[in-house]
Structure 1
Amino acid sequence: MPLLQPLRRLSDTVNQVAIVICVACVLIMLGISFTAFLYKLATGSTLSWTYSLARLFLPWIGFLSMTISLRYGEHVAMTLLVRSLPRALLKLAAALCLVVIGLFGALLLWYGWDYFVGASQVYMVSDRIQIPGKFTAIVVPVSGAILLLHLVQGFALLEHFIDDESAIDELIETVDTAAVDTEERA
């Protein structure tokens, strides 16, 4: 499948961009909060706009970090249940999990786009700082598209389901082989 490799590289690149954006959002939030703290120390009064402005970055952090965690296989999983399944059912459960993730990504994209298009409110951070609602609404369909893009990674997204089992099997085989080698030497 020659198309999968470029899509997987694109998925990795998009994931790196999402990481940079999340880090930037956290740093901006910290910068805003630190500015408010310093202003309070220096003047004794508070800046009214800092809390409102800082919280506008939370949807970006939440939605993009969801896509990042999916890419690294750190999403919520029922690992104990899955590990107790036979190998064939394990693959079926993993495939079903990918289908559900794909459905969730498609719903985020579909309904998120409608949400973005219909976002007409303006966040009044202060008298002079007004931010369109589209700034936070766009992250919903973007994160849905990223989730769908990450599906090209296939079972690698569910790495902890499959690789742990094979790693355990390899360890057992290594121990068994070492025990046989030790018995043969004796």
Structure 2
Amino acid sequence: MPLLSPLRRLSDAVNQLAIVLCVACVLIMLGISFTAFVYKLATGSTLSWTYSLARLFLPWIGFLSMTISLRYGEHVAMTLLVRSLPRPLLKAAAVLCLVVIAVFALMLVWYGWVYFEGASQVYMVSDQIQVHSKFTAIVVPLSGLVILLHLVQGFDLLEHFIDDQSTIDELIESTDREERP
């Protein structure tokens, strides 16, 4: 399919962007926490807004890391059980798994959008810092869209088709090459 290759490249690019956003969120959280720590050391009092502001990044980290782990096949899977199936049933189980992932992603988009539209609160982090709840709500449908995009990778998302014996043989060969003088 000529459309599949550009979509797979887009999936990879979106995955790289998600990685950058996750790292940025973690660094921002660490920066906020470090600021609170240094302020506490310097003055002996605490900044009331640091905890509230830092935790606003947790949904972003959680939902985006979910899409990243899916892309690398690190999601929850019953690999041992599925690999013990005959090849035709293995393919059927893999297709079923992808369908379940697609349904989950569609539910994230559908219900996440309803949640986003209904988000009307403003988080009062402090008197000066106010963050609209839409900031955290938008990540739910956004992650659903990313998961749907990652589905263009097909069976590459699943580790059911990795041949363990060939992987073990490759590891043994690379170790043997390193030991030879």
Name the counterpart of 1:62: 62
Identity of aligned residues (%): 79
Name the counterpart of 1:12: 12
| 2:103 paired with 1:112 | no
Q: Is the 8 A contact 1:83 1:165 kept in 2?
A: no
Q: Is the 8 A contact 1:113 1:140 kept in 2?
A: yes
The amino acid that maps onto 2:62 is G
| 2:43 paired with 1:43 | yes
Deviations 1:127-146 (A, max 9, x none): 11100000000000000000
| 2:161 paired with 1:162 | yes
Distance 2:165 2:105 in 1: 29
Name the counterpart of 2:29: 29
Give the direction of change, closer, same or farther, for the CA distance of 1:150–1:67 in structure 2 (3 Å limit): same
Distance 1:133 1:164 in 2: 46
Name the counterpart of 2:173: none
- Let me know the Cα RMSD of the aligned residues: 1.3
Where do 4+ consecutive residues of structure 1 move more than 2 Å?
Answer: 164-168
Deviations 1:75-110 (A, max 9, x none): 001111112111111111111000000000000001
The amino acid that maps onto 2:33 is S
Query: Counterparts of 1:87-102 in structure 2 under 5 Å?
Result: 87-102=87-102
* Aligned-residue offset at 1:164: 2.7
Distance 1:68 1:42 in 2: 39
Name the counterpart of 2:76: 76
Which ranges of structure 2 fall in alignment gaps of 5 or more residues?
Answer: 170-181
Distance 2:49 2:95 in 1: 47
Give the direction of change, closer, same or farther, for the CA distance of 1:124–1:117 in structure 2 (3 Å limit): same
Distance 1:42 1:122 in 2: 31
Give the direction of change, closer, same or farther, for the CA distance of 1:10–1:166 in structure 2 (3 Å limit): farther
Aligned length: 169
| CA radius of gyration, larger in | 1
Q: TM-score, normalised by structure 1?
A: 0.88
Distance 1:73 1:90 in 2: 16
* Aligned-residue offset at 1:117: 0.8
Query: Counterparts of 1:111-150 in structure 2 under 5 Å?
Result: 111-150=111-150
